[in-house]
Amino acid sequence: MKLLNYDQLDIVGFAGVRERVLVMDSRVFGYRRHEDAWEGYGQLTYLAHAYFKPGGSTGRHHHNDVDIVSIVTRGRLHHEGTARYSSGSMTGERIEPMAEILEGQVMVQRSGQSGFMHNEINPDDDIAGMVQIWLAPSESVCEQASQRVIEISHGATTVYTGGDTELVIHRFDKGEVFALPEKGLCYLYQGELSAGENTIRRGTLFRPDTSQCMASTDNTCLLVVGPPSAKTPG
Residue 128 is part of which domain span? 2-226
Q: In this structure, what CATH number is given to the domain that contains residue 200?
A: 2.60.120.10
Using CA atoms, how far residue 209 sits from 1, 92, 95, 196, in Å, is 6, 43, 45, 9
231 in any annotated domain = no
Is the pLDDT at 96 greater than 60, yes or no?
Answer: no
- Residue 133's CB is within 10 A of a number of other CB atoms, namely 24
Cα 63 from Cα 169, distance rounded (Å):
24
157 in any annotated domain = yes
85 in any annotated domain = yes
**DSSP line for 163-219:** SS-EEEEEEE-TT-EEEPPSSSEEEEEES-EEETTEEEPTTEEEE--SSEEEE-STT
Q: Report the number of distinct structural domains present in the chain.
A: 1
24 in any annotated domain = yes
The 10s digit of each residue's pLDDT in 153-191 is: 999 999 999 889 999 999 999 999 989 888 899 999 999
The 10s digit of each residue's pLDDT in 191-217 is: 999 998 899 999 999 998 878 899 999
For residues 225 and 181, which has the higher predicted lDDT (pLDDT)? 225
